[in-house]
């Protein structure tokens, strides 16, 4: 069912964000069925803006030098 919804979304030229991903096997399944993005405790607990910035820097292993940063997980 999830794979069908993802395929339908892609047919409509939409990106798919699956929420509530808590364990590796869920992430692996979503990758296998071409989910575009994931959100959930497997990646990170909810963060305030400063902690989020630190997380993104560590995740991407970059130095942002006060620039705005966004990432696709």
Mind listing the pLDDT tens digit for each residue in 20-71?
999 999 999 999 999 999 999 988 888 999 998 888 888 777 655 555 444 4
- Cα–Cα distances in angstroms (integers) from residue 37 to residues 15, 22, 50, 66, in the given order: 8, 14, 22, 25
Give the range of the structural domain holding residue 67, as residue numbers without chain letter.
45-73
Q: Give the predicted TM-score (pTM) of the model.
A: 0.67
Q: Are residues 35 and 57 in the same domain?
A: no
Task: Tell the burial category of 50 from Cβ atoms under 10 Å away from its Cβ (0-12, 13-18, 19+).
Answer: exposed
Query: Is residue 19 within 8 Å of residue 39, measured between CB atoms?
Result: yes
Q: Tell whether 9 and 32 lie within a shared domain.
A: yes
Helix (H) or strand (E) holding 28, with range, is helix 24-32
What total of structural domains would you count in the chain? 2
């Amino acid at each position: 069912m999830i794979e069908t919804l993802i395929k339908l979304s892609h047919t409509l030229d939409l990106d798919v964000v699956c929420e509530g991903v808590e364990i590796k096997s869920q992430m692996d399944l979503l990758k296998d069925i071409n989910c575009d993005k994931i959100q959930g405790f497997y990646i990170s607990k909810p963060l305030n803006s400063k902690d989020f910035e630190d997380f993104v820097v560590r995740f991407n292993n970059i130095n942002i030098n006060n620039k705005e940063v966004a990432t696709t997980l």
